[in-house]
Chains A and B, each alone.
Chain A
């Protein structure tokens, strides 16, 4: 979500970065010690027996993100544990970064495991200096970092063996977790690790020649596959601390509303209920937390509350009215991102005028939001699946009245997220902390796990914003665009958050990312960001969820209006300027059989290609319309993500992003509001794809040796427009709204 704005971001986040990476920000002894991880030798960083960090002699000038001690642990038995500086929430980054580090370490892959880091400065993004999982940045930013970490650790092990054997380090080689002497003697890393810790950490290391890669580039199964296929993987929601209680919150029916009255007599009478607490919730609202022995008692207690909120004091959004308000903005002046001359519009031989509507969307990760807080007098420990552990720790400190260094944020494996666990306001973490504080004030010293029900999640805001687009395009008989007047209306995601610095000239770049590029169209783009009482957030692939749809369906329409093949039309526009777009599209076209394979009657091809987060994905799909419902039969992707670190993981991400792209098309995939209240509540009325909706997938990767780019999001944006382009041909009219309404 952020990578598009790389030049601006570091400046915008500077104040955070300074605080985040200050070496003195967190005490490395005692408090950060983690239990149950004894037995390691090399690698005693912020998660380990911290004293060893002082023993190792870090190279001068190395940042916390460059110290192998924080990232590699080698047990005496040779087992290697890699610490992750990102949230693993399905995207496969745990396996991916472990592969990268293990490659340079020459570890025995069968002995490698991975675990999460925390809010220590070591686990900040090495480029942005903040703790972040988002914007498909993890592999892009940490590929060089984890290679160097592995190479540094390897050099320390080799130096130790060299000293032991009294041989020059340069004469030794390594393979599968062993150092090997020219005469064939071998010693395992586990045996060397403790002594290796005393070696100086080398600043400069030589990385492998890619032709010698044994892991990188090889299709590799996930390290967590077995645990996740046998009910053994713990997620944040599975955490159980001694004496832990569970809280469930009654949220206001309208965002930001405060309590008018509360009768908790019946709730307190529910067996197992320990406390009923009034707590602040997101958007300035007030909620009621019921704290009980377990989820069910807390839930029953919540359902027994008699609470009323002062909803007349806050804006009550109505989606129908909101659309009319957005429409009224289309002809108002506003800030412009691009400012081409529109005069040719009046005389253009062909014109298209199109309006597009996109609803609010919920992320709905399968693991409901949850956060466990153990609050002491001078410290707090927090366990949660978060994309922003640093920002959340700071927000927690504020709510708890503690200093940031008194917070320990333990990142937990998360059951999906798609942006919902990367909240600038830290909404669910702040809420859990407010509950822990209120409970402690009420005499409950226990750790408290706050759990959201699915209804809380679907109704809880932080949606992909609703958007309205209008395009007026003039073009000639060859399909050459003469002028394009475009207006985009939607709430800003970053305004009012600590990402505010990204706003330029009144325009939130996350709203318009993906507009125009890679097409050389003369465009004027006017952007309006109305303020609406609905919390909004990035949703997997962010602005490209709507901009790719608008651009790729309109490009297709121009091609068809001028009797050109949509693939040939795009390739001509790309020319030599966009070779990655060209190669991704050509690969998908070639492998799908587009234009060669005859389709059954009533089926049509659809094509779209889009770059987001530095990766280009093209989809070629085969679709039909049956009984007024669009059906996706087959989807073939061409992917250009530079070097494919783990092709198996890339395939999974592209398939998954394809399904999430499909999710935007399905009737019922919309969050709407009436009188301020969200009308949907669960998977019955907020529709997400099921297995029966999913097509057959084929994913093909363009070979490349360039440094890898992201893969978590880019498969999503082009799927819906490719599907819509097929449907438009079958329906005989363009698709101008998501979800599809063909009836």
Chain B
């Protein structure tokens, strides 16, 4: 049995301790907003926040995050988090998604990035590029991702 704190709730899961957080969320807890893309920390589709830090859940075993706060796309975009809400609204406003499969991970990376920055100091284009370079979008929505991150930052300023 592994005790996890997910989206502010304590959950106990009966999985092998080597099981990645990704598959624990998806298969054991039914939280399918976090996506499987590569299984090797190469594409970012599985990004969650562990104690606020953007983390690749596909290579993070549950045993490594016991007692730490895990936040998923479902919580970040439920409206209760001002940064997550701003990012979600910017994503809708800019019609970023095409297939949408990678966008949970994109939003989790963007949200962690904006939370890590001081308010009132808009990120530069180069900073946005660096923050989002780890997330692959095969549909090629990059131009709108750039615009949406900048817009979300402005709306939070």
Contacts and interface: CB of A to CB of B under 8 A. Distances in A.
5 contacts: A228-B97, A230-B73, A271-B16, A454-B37, A659-B142
Contacts of A225: 91-92, 95-97
B123 to A, nearest CB: 13
A455 B58 CA distance: 14
A224 B72 CA distance: 20
B60 interface: no
B138 A364 contact: yes
* Chain A interface mostly: loop
Contacts of B18: 300
B107 interface: yes
Contacts of B43: 366, 454, 683
A9 B136 CA distance: 36
A697 B38 CA distance: 28
B34 interface: yes
Given A295-B27, A296-B27, A692-B129, A656 B139 contact: yes
B138 A691 contact: no
Interface residues of A, number: 65
B103 interface: yes
Given A91-B98, A229-B107, A240-B30, A416 B139 contact: yes
A418 interface: yes
A291 to B, nearest CB: 14
B103 A367 contact: no
A688 B20 contact: no
B33 A229 contact: no
A682 B43 CA distance: 10
A689 interface: yes
Given A90-B139, A237-B36, A294-B27, A656 B133 contact: no
Contacts of A365: 99, 101, 138
B130 to A, nearest CB: 8
Name, among B33, B135, B145, the residue most crowded by chain A CB atoms within 10 Å (CB to CB): B33
A691 B16 contact: no
Given A295-B27, A296-B23, A90 B99 contact: yes
Contacts of B38: 454, 682-683
* Chain B interface mostly: loop
**Pairs A-B, 9 closest by C-beta atoms:** A231-B33, A659-B140, A415-B101, A228-B100, A90-B99, A231-B73, A294-B27, A90-B98, A228-B97
Contacts of B88: 226, 229-230
Nearest to A453: B39
Given A222-B97, A366-B138, A367-B99, A694 B32 contact: no
Contact of B32 (A238, A294, A453, A689): A238
Contacts of B91: 225, 229
Nearest to B78: A230
Name, among B19, B23, B38, the residue most crowded by chain A CB atoms within 10 Å (CB to CB): B38
Interface in A392-414: 414
A696 B143 contact: yes
A690 interface: yes
Interface string A674-695: 0000000011100011111010
